[in-house]
Structure formats: structure tokens, C-alpha cells
Amino acid sequence: MSKKMEIKKGIGVSPGYRIRRAFVLEEEDTTVPARFLSPKQDVESEIERFHEALKASIRDLEDLKQEIRKKLSPDLQEIFSVHQILLSDPAIRQKVEEKIRNHRCTAEYALTRTMRSYIRKFRSFRNNLFSNRSQDIRDLEKRVLRHLQGKKRKGINDLKEEVIVIAKDLLPSQTATFDKKHVVGFATDFGGKTSHTAILARAFGIPAVVGVGDLTAQVSNDDIVVIDGTNGLVILNPDEKTLKRYQQKERQHADFWNRLYTELKDLPCETLDGYEIKLWANIEVPQEVSLAVENGAEGVGLYRTEFLYLQSGKVPSEKEHLNAYLQALQELKGRPLVIRLLDMGADKYHHRSAPLQEKNPFLGCRSIRYLFEELDILKVQLRAILRASAHGDVRILLPMISSVEELEQAKTILEDIQEELHKQHLAFDENIKVGIMIEVPSAVLIADVLAQKVDFFSIGTNDLIQYTLAVDRVNEKVAFLYQPAHLSILRMLQHVVEVGKKNAIPVSICGEMSREMRYVLPLLGLGLTNISMTPVVIPEVKKIIRSTTLKEAKEVFEKILSFQTSEETEKFLETKIQQMVPDIFEVLQPTI
């Protein structure tokens, strides 16, 4: 009897489509019973056995780092450098040793008790970015246990055919060692967009969906599974009709990308009537720059530097900042690099900011406010950015500016750092450009004042929509109220662009709104200087822009300003884009 088709909704963390048989990755049994040493067994010998397992685990991680360096980028190996640091942490060693000595228990039991206490602490944090770090601790626990117990990891290294991996969760070290020839997609019960596993999936280019729920309980080895990483869907045992649709979509997606790349890679991003607009990329790690450039990015409009802090679990040094920025500049080959200062807080934390844990973090000590509280962090980053500016076109982006006072304070600190570098005879761009994120309503209303004090605006639609509509964008209960096409948002965008033109400063947009196909026409019609987006969607946006005129785009924007509801606007824009570029619409729309 054939199994019934089921459609599961999760979080798409890496786009693309795959239809393959499932390989269900069984969880390793890490249940460690309470066992104690016999009177004849020596405590110090047990501690030495623990030390040897730690040493072997650290060697494993060094090998894994070298593998990552060859496959991806030196930056991603830092994930496992952190694992090495944790295993070398005297506090962890001491706690395990104390348990062995005080309770005369086995090294396995002492290790598990210690690591599980850390896991509980990490999971107690409400924000996903910090709680996701519990996966790293669990990964380390399993690694050391394997050496203590003399076991090898049950893996998928002997695969002979392409599969989709299904797992409760994937540890960073598991994802890092995937053989891309055979693992062509994965889906997990747990996980989020900010986990190290999700970041590695995007770097590998493997379609992936996480946070699906009880997926592993419903999938067996060799079941046919569809992964729709673009729309966050997992389809189990698709019926014949769905299977054929997704087979066609997978072929279309591959053909479409090849065709777009071939057609557009050497062509300017301009409308049919000759209006040119720059397409830039949003990145989190330097290795994304090569993909962005390959897809046609003319610069990086938003370098989110939070990953520098989150990947290492510590505050990066000036040298670490500088090396990351120089790597990005090297890949850009003269193209601009806009670096946003650390935007920590709200739903993003590292170990220094975690203790804040505010009741309403999105309205609390985040972004520039947090940096003013942690001046040492701010100054280290500014020094590195300034020093990098001596090697290429670097620009500074200040996050969540809500008042003139905040802007003036930030500029004063920047001037102090510039004076320091002068005294140390360290080179930097004396005329480095400084811009601000327009992402709160107060900044929109005083944009005319702010424009006189900065070199450019970058509109962050994610937070602007959230703060304007009073909608928590990660709250499922009010998600339907998060409406980029809301008339108030459209009027705000129009106002900021008009202010930019009056003051002769460039205005770009870098929020998620810029990656949605249906919004390309109105954003073009606004008269933005450039649009910054996820690297993978650049060819699609370029295709749309080259298929229309600036006159038509302006008419579209004027038309949607006459609508009173978001629903009317969304329907009109979707119909318009479907008529203009039906091939893009067909590839990206969900089949179900």
C-alpha cells in the first residue's frame, strides 16, 4: 500500500529544489548511565583517559578545519576553532575532573553531566541565535564521548547515490563533512536561519529546510522526498501529479539559472529606456562575495558583521575584523563595500550581550545604543573599518539611528578614532563615506535633517515595517500583519527617496523587501540609487529591470499609492510581474 502524500512547512534556509530518496540519519545514542569507579580503579588514571579523549577530539577538529578550508573558506573554519577553544577551556576541564574526583564516576558520566548543564543554560535564552549555540556544545559532547568509548561516528560517507538527508537536527561538523556529490539537500525537525548548520548549507549551495517539526517520525529510508528550499516546503511521498510538477520545476530552476547567468552576466542593469540602477549584495560572511560578484553584484550594500561575533562566541579582535574586511575587498576587486556596524540585541546576541535579556529587546539596548554602552567593541570595529578603507572603497553604515544626537555621538567617536590612527601613522581613507540605516519612523520624519549630516541613506525595510506597523516579525500570531505593501510603508519610502534627491545623497534599500520579485517594479519606480539583496536573487531582479522601462515602473508606483489595502497592492503587483516575466514567476512560485 502506497503512503499518502504529506506537505510539511518549515523554514527555507537555502534555496533550490531537489527530488531524491530519503536517507534518515539516525541520532547517535548519547545516553550515558551513571557508572562509578571500583575501589581498584584509579581516579587519576580516569582523569588521564579524559585528557587523552580531549586531545584526540582537538586533533579531529584541526583536520576538520583543514577540510573546510579546502572546500569553502577560511572564515567558516572558525566555527570549529571555537570548538577547540571550548574543549581547551580550563573551566570545563575542571568541572569534569571535580566530578570524577568527588563522585568517583567514569569520565563519560562526568563529561555528560557537565556538558548537559551548559546545554540547558544556552537553551534557556529566548533568542534563537544564542540558544542555537547549544548545538555546538552537543556536538562537542558527542565527539569526546566517541573517543572515550572507542566508537566511530555513524556517518553517510559510504553513499553511492544522491540522497536527501532527513535528521532531527544536524551538528555543524556533520554538515561540514557532507559529500556534495551525494548529499544534495536536507531537512531537519529543529533549527533556525541563524544556526551554523544553516550558514554552512547556504555556503555549500545545498537546498535546505529546517524547523519542520516531527519530520523524522514520518519518513523512512528510501521514501521519495521533495525539498523546496525556496518556499520552505518538504513534501513526503509526492503523488504523481506533484512529482511531475517538481521534476519540471527542478529542471526549470537549473535551466533558468544557467540561462540567466549566460544572458546577463556581462550586461548592465538598466531599463529598456536606459535608466541604470546598481544591484548590490547583502552578505554575512566574506566568502559570499565571490557568489555575489559571479551573479552580477556591483558591490556589497550591506555587510552584516554580526556573524564575526556569533561564529566565535567572543568579541573579535581588530586583526580579525580587518582580515575579514580585506578578504571581502580582495574578492570585490575595487567594488564598494558598505560595512554596517554591529547590530546586536533584539534577536541577536553574543556572550557579552546575552546578559541583557530584556523584556522587550526590540525596543531596548540594541544596535547603536548597545555600541554606545560597549565603547570598546565599537572602537575596535571602527579602527578595523578605517584601516581597511586604505585598501579599497569602504563605507560605514550606522544602524538604527533614531535621532540627531545619536548620529552626532557616533560621528564624534569616529573622529576620535581617526585622530588615534593619525597619531599611530596608520593609513585610512580621510574621506570615508558615512551613511545611516533608515529603519525607524523617527528617522523617516527627520530625514531632511539627517540628510545634511551623512553621505547616504540605506533603508532597512525589515525593522521599518516592524516598528511602523507595531508587528513582531518573528511572532506567528501576528505575522499576517507584517505587510511591506502597507500604504504607510510606501509613503515612507517615497518620502525618504525624495529627501535624498533634494539633498543630493544616494538612497538604497537593503531589507528583505528588495528580494521579493513583486516589489522590484515599485522600488525601481521610486528612483532608488541602488538595491541591495541576497546574492542568489540578483540575476532575477536584473532580468525584471531589463524587461521594463523607468516610465512604466513610475506608473506602477503611482498606481499602488491609490490603493487603500495591502491586499489590493499585492494582487496588482503579482499580476504585473507574472505578465512581465512569466518564466521567473513560474520557477519561483510554490507548486503546491
Min mean pLDDT across 7-11, 26-30, 172-176 is at 26-30
Q: What percent of the chain clears pLDDT 90, i.e. is strictly above it?
A: 48
Which of 73-77, 130-134, 199-203, 244-248 is most confident?
A: 244-248
Kindly report the backbone phi and psi dihedral angles of residue 183, in degrees, each rounded to the nearest multiple of 5, phi listed first.
-95, 105
Quote the pLDDT of residue 218: 83
Min mean pLDDT across 181-185, 461-465, 474-478 is at 474-478
> Residue 190 pairs with which residues in a beta bridge?
none
Q: Considering the candidates 83, 269, 321, 510, report the single residue annotated as catalytic.
A: 510
Residue 126 has pLDDT above 60, yes or no: no
pLDDT-derived band at 49 (thresholds 50, 70, 90) equals very high
User: How far apart (Å, rounded) are the C-alpha atoms in residues 34 and 54?
Assistant: 20
How does pLDDT run across 54-66, given as a tens digit for each residue?
A: 999 998 888 877 7
Which of 276-285, 357-366, 436-445 is most confident?
A: 436-445
Q: Which amino acid is at 146?
A: R
Question: How far, in Å, are 35, 55, 587 from residue 147 at the CA level?
Answer: 17, 10, 47
Start-to-end CA distance of the chain, whole Å, equals 24
Min mean pLDDT across 358-362, 437-441, 510-514 is at 358-362
Give yes or no for a contact between 13 and 206, defined as CB atoms under 8 angstroms apart. no
pLDDT-derived band at 482 (thresholds 50, 70, 90) equals confident
pLDDT-derived band at 479 (thresholds 50, 70, 90) equals low
Residue 29 has pLDDT above 60, yes or no: no
3-state secondary structure of 551: helix
pLDDT-derived band at 299 (thresholds 50, 70, 90) equals very high
Kindly report the backbone phi and psi dihedral angles of residue 360, in degrees, each rounded to the nearest multiple of 5, phi listed first.
-130, 75
- pTM of this prediction exceeds 0.75: no
Residue 345 has pLDDT above 90, yes or no: no
Give yes or no for a contact between 14 and 198, defined as CB atoms under 8 angstroms apart. yes
Top-confidence residue, 364 or 277: 277
Q: Considering the candidates 196, 321, 350, 486, report the single residue annotated as catalytic.
A: 196
Question: What domains does the chain contain, in order, with CATH numbers?
Answer: 6-27+155-240 (3.50.30.10), 43-149 (1.10.274.10), 271-346+361-565 (3.20.20.60)
Quote the pLDDT of residue 14: 84
* Per-residue burial over 69-92, b = 16 or more CB atoms within 10 Å of its CB, e = otherwise: eebbbebbbbbbebbbebbeeeeb
Per-chain mean pLDDT for the chain: 85
* Per-residue burial over 272-310, b = 16 or more CB atoms within 10 Å of its CB, e = otherwise: eeebebbbbbbbbbbbbbebbbebbbbbbbbbbbbbbbb
User: Residue 486 catalytic?
Assistant: no
**Can you tell me the mean pLDDT for 219-245?**
90
Give yes or no for a contact between 464 and 440, defined as CB atoms under 8 angstroms apart. yes
User: How far apart (Å, rounded) are the C-alpha atoms in residues 271 and 542?
Assistant: 9
User: Residue 510 catalytic?
Assistant: yes
Quote the pLDDT of residue 2: 59
